[in-house]
Structure 1
Amino acid sequence: MTTEHPARIAGNASRAAAIAKNKDEWLALFAEDGWVEDPVGPSGFDPEGKGHHGREAISKFYDMTIATADSLEFLIDDSLVCGNENVNIGKIRTSVGGMMIDAEGVFVYRVNDEGKIQSLRAFWEVDRAMKTARKV
């Protein structure tokens, strides 16, 4: 999973910035017209399921999600690169408010020609993740 590939590099940097809770660094990884769908489709973070488009919307997404977590851990079982995309299979472990939740899924980073994240799409099921909730 260490192959030097622009999409993998961007995905690794995105996860590192999220773990460090470095909002400015995380936002700087995105293309100006980039977007985030996490999870893909309608959710409490995105009731219409259209994603968070542009840096201002991505910044608001960060404030609703990453900023509220006590800690994040990315447990990646496999990582594949194809074209300008990196697909990661695994789980995101989130600790918040004395609880730990695992979101198993597929996490897809697409980069543009400059290596900036064009899209971050996370495929995971909210109900399934909530069933893993446990006290820490």
Structure 2
Amino acid sequence: MSTETIEKAVAAYFSNIAAMNPEGWVNNFAEDAISHDPVGEPPAKVHEGFREFIGQLQAVFAKLEPTTEHIFIASNEAAVKWTMTGVSKSGKSVKFEGITIFEVNAEGKIQTTRAYWNPAQMIAQLRS
């Protein structure tokens, strides 16, 4: 698999989060894709209810800006160190970071994600 294919899938993942575009985000995934986001929570089937994930972002945030700081590609996977900054609809600023492991299938779709981050840090910033 080409590096460009993996980079394209990762870029689409983050750009659709920034745009809070549920259809574009979900369409970036294979039909049977699984997401561990965050790792430690029960895995979710992306095409079963993950449009609501973007809906939740839209309900809370006026703006989200992901930055991919490092992308390490090996075989058909990428490990991405990222930082997310945002502003809630109530004007609270947030900044949180993590690492997501992406597995991309032969069709260039995301098959699996494993996201390592702490949602409690983001929620604490929204409540402060």
The two structures share one fold, judged by TM-score above 0.5: yes
Cross-structure match for 1:16: 15
Q: Distance in 1 between matches of 2:95 and 2:46?
A: 27
> How many residue pairs were aligned?
125
1:87 aligns with 2:79: yes
CA shift for structure 1 position 102: 1.3
Cross-structure match for 1:30: 29
AA matched with 1:24? E
Change in 2 beyond 3 A, CA 1:134/1:93: farther
Provide the alpha-carbon RMSD of the alignment: 2.3
CA shift for structure 1 position 6: 1.9
Cross-structure match for 1:110: 103
Structure 2: gaps of 5 or more residues: none
> Residues 51-90 of structure 1 correspond to what in structure 2 (within 5 A)?
51-64=43-56, 66-68=57-59, 69-90=61-82
Bigger drift between 26-35 and 125-134 goes to: 125-134
- Percent of aligned pairs with the same amino acid: 26
Give SS of 2:42's match.
coil
Change in 2 beyond 3 A, CA 1:18/1:126: closer
Bigger drift between 123-132 and 73-82 goes to: 123-132
CA shift for structure 1 position 99: 1.0
1:35–1:58 CA contact under 8 A, matched in 2: no
CA shift for structure 1 position 134: 8.9
Structure 1: gaps of 5 or more residues: 42-48
**TM-score normalised over the length of structure 2:** 0.82
Change in 2 beyond 3 A, CA 1:37/1:67: farther
2:92–2:125 CA contact under 8 A, matched in 1: no
